Structure 1
């Protein structure tokens, strides 16, 4: 999978999640998706490649890094709790969407109940 497809897949899926919003707090080269003001996905270019950075459960992050050559510790983030997806052959669109959803859910589950988006406890996607 090339970098454009990776980022397009992640971007489209993130936009479908309840109350997810895109911001550019670090300038135009960084796309930052938030829910209720909390970051769940970042996208940027690192030397020579487009990447997607997602929150992940530490145990899951470790397992993903061991089984997918294109998943590494979070770029400029906490290496235990964030992963970086890079272009390559070990990722497919279904896995990317699942990882974006999981990142979103991890953030939403840490929000106080009254601030959690309606419907985010199930699929998370807007109806």
Structure 2
């Protein structure tokens, strides 16, 4: 079961990186059959992710925007980039300080400590 969960997270991560993914390419990237990809896509749908499938030679899978924001999966670099961007909101002059502060707290809460320490080492100074 651990392999299935890990593979589904990998599938979700791949679907988040580009607009359209042909089924055979996803299967190849994940090291599984196209049938396994179809089953994993069905499981993602059961979890509330909106995955659109198109048939035919130009077909494939796409993570569609949904009514609710589903849980997202970020790699280490993406998580650090988000945290740094949220820290920089105050310096940007955009009136989102409180919302950015709450979002940063949420992101930091789920970050591994190695990434939190990396983010904590970055400071912004007023121009």
Name the one with the larger strand percent: 1
More helix by share: 2
* More RCO (CA 8 Å, sep 6+): 1
What is the TM-score of this pair, normalised by structure 2? 0.23
Of structures 1 and 2, the larger Rg is shown by: 2
